[in-house]
């Protein structure tokens, strides 16, 4: 019976994996044919995977496009080099954004309804609002639902920010695309969806390594240095998100000291011995000595600001009356 149960279990677990594997392979095959197609390949893939906006009347009833559309977009984009990414994003933002003609028509209609009843005006406004949604925004929402989709979009925004800051493009469409991505990411990474985690020497090695690697203010010298930064008289906190497991998004380091230090070296270089226990009577101050955001694509979402406020509250609640 044990063997039979085991076999049943193996089969039932295998099915979804096989389905996902099969669609994975299909996507890889498809995208590899389009890479050869250059600009026309880009146009072809975009017109196939970026679905048109459903009509206003059917917007809540239309089934979402197949998941393979999102996967194909992701694989294709990841395979491009920097120059092709710029070309691809320019096409996406220009040709798959807002339907300007419909927006103008609806704006005129809205003006015409101004003397009508409130319900008619609200309906006209809602139609206009819906029509102002860029087609690519809908694609991004679908991408966010596939595995690794949110991280993909965070990295995509990092590319867009790089294009803007390096002045590789001054297209208003690219700036619009950035705005759409920022507003989606701000919703998905809102405070209520973030998890505050304390990082200690007992945290997974993978996380500790990332804490060390992402430190942008006072570089971590070695493992002993890292052990001290998460040890006694120190606190290290990070925000994580369910959609990006194992990825600290922003990391904050705090030193708990007797007096407010007048130089950073005394915090970064001088520590109590590694094994000493904390004596709470010796703690009067909490010095927030380093904060680093790890995801360039989340710039402007202000996770750092929120993390500092959360940790101030947390340390305040934890019985200490620090001077910050
Ligand atoms: C500081 C950050 C964690 C903030 O990240 P957020 O997720 O909150 O959002 P963000 O990057 O959009 O930045 C929010 C606002 O803070 C500003 N900002 C960013 N870094 C700043 C800095 N070092 N000093 C002063 N302001 C800064 C941005 O221009 C922006 O302003 P606006 O909204 O006006 O555009 C990140 O920018 C980052 O990792 N920067 C690189 C590392 C760094 O500089 N760390 C802080 C060093 S000081 C430190 O750690 C303590 C110390 O040494 O005393």
Ligand 1: which of 264, 293, 298 to mutate, judged by most atoms within 8 Å of the beta carbon? 293
Regarding whether 197 and 184 lie in a shared domain, the answer is no
pTM, full prediction: 0.84
Q: Is the pLDDT of residue 69 over 80?
A: yes
Query: Domain of 82: which CATH number?
Result: 1.20.140.90
Q: Whose CA is nearest to atom 36 of ligand 1?
A: 293
pLDDT at 6: 32
Q: What is the count of structural domains for the chain?
A: 2
Residue 120 inside a domain? The answer is no
Domain boundary among 168, 189, 210: 189
Q: What is the pLDDT of residue 92?
A: 97
In which band, very low, low, confident or very high, does the pLDDT at 183 lie, cut at 50, 70 and 90?
very high
Instruction: Evaluate whether 72 touches 31 at the Cβ level (below 8 Å).
Output: yes
**Do residues 209 and 144 share a domain?**
no
Q: Write the CB contacts of 263 (distance below 8 Å, at least 6 apart in sequence).
A: none
- What is the pLDDT averaged over residues 221-235? 93
Task: Identify whether 116 is part of a domain.
Answer: no
Q: What's the CA-to-centroid distance between 303 and ligand 1, angstroms?
A: 10
- Does one domain contain both 182 and 206? no
Q: What is the CATH number of the domain that holds 274?
A: 3.40.630.150
Which range of residues forms the domain containing residue 214?
Answer: 192-315
262 inside domain? yes
* Residue 179 CB less than 6 A away from ligand 1: no
Residue 150 and residue 247 in one domain = no
Report the C-alpha gap between 95 and 47 in whole angstroms: 9
Tokens of 322: 């620090």
d(CA 232, CA 280): 11
CB distance 260 to 122 below 8 Å: no
119 falls within a domain: no
**Does residue 278 carry a pLDDT above 50?**
yes
Do 47 and 169 share a domain, yes or no?
Answer: yes
Distance 275 CA to ligand 1 centre (A): 33
Residue 305 lies in a domain: yes
Task: Give CA 121 to chain center in angstroms.
Answer: 36
Same domain, 83 and 170: yes
Tokens of residue 303, six digits: 């996770």
Residue 147's CB is within 10 A of a number of other CB atoms, namely 11
Same domain, 199 and 164: no
HSE-CB at 27 with a 13 A cutoff on CA atoms is 21
Regarding whether 92 and 158 lie in a shared domain, the answer is yes
Residue of 143, 119, 110, 137 whose CA lies nearest to 53 = 137
By alpha-carbon position, which residue is closest to atom 50 of ligand 1?
290
Is 224 part of any domain? yes
Q: From the CA of 162, how far away is ligand 1's center (Å)?
A: 17
Q: Output the average pLDDT for the chain.
A: 86
Q: Does residue 216 line the site of ligand 1, with CB under 6 A?
A: yes
92 and 181 inside one domain: yes
ipTM for the assembly: 0.92
Measured in angstroms, how far is the CA atom of residue 66 from the centroid of ligand 1?
39
């Amino acid at each position: 019976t044990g063997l039979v149960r085991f076999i049943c279990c193996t089969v039932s677990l295998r099915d979804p994996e096989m389905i996902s594997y099969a669609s994975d392979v299909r996507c890889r095959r498809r995208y590899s044919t389009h890479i050869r197609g250059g600009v026309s390949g880009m146009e072809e893939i975009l017109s196939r995977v970026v679905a048109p906006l459903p009509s206003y009347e059917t917007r809540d009833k239309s089934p979402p496009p197949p998941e393979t559309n999102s996967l194909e977009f992701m694989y294709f984009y990841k395979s491009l080099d920097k120059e092709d990414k710029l070309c691809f994003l320019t096409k996406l933002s220009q040709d798959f954004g807002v339907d300007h003609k419909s927006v103008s028509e609806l704006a005129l209609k809205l003006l015409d309804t101004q003397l009508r009843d409130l319900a008619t005006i609200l309906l006209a406004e809602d139609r206009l609002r819906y029509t102002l949604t860029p087609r690519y925004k809908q694609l991004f929402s679908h991408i966010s639902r596939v595995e690794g989709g949110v991280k993909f979009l965070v990295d995509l925004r990092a590319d867009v920010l790089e294009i803007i800051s390096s002045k590789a493009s001054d297209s208003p469409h690219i700036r619009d695309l950035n705005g759409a991505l920022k507003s989606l990411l701000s919703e998905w990474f809102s405070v209520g969806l973030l998890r505050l985690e304390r990082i200690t020497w007992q945290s997974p090695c993978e996380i500790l390594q990332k804490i060390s690697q992402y430190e942008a203010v006072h570089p971590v010298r070695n493992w002993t240095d890292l052990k001290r930064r998460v040890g006694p008289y120190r606190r290290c906190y990070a925000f994580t998100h369910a959609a990006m497991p194992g990825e600290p998004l922003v990391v904050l380091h705090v030193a708990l000291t007797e007096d407010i230090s007048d130089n950073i070296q005394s915090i970064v270089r001088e520590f109590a011995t590694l094994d000493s226990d904390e004596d709470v009577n010796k703690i009067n101050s909490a010095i927030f000595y380093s904060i680093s955001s790890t995801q360039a694509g989340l710039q402007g979402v202000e996770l750092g600001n929120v993390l500092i406020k959360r940790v101030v509250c947390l340390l305040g609640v934890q019985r200490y009356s620090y001077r910050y």
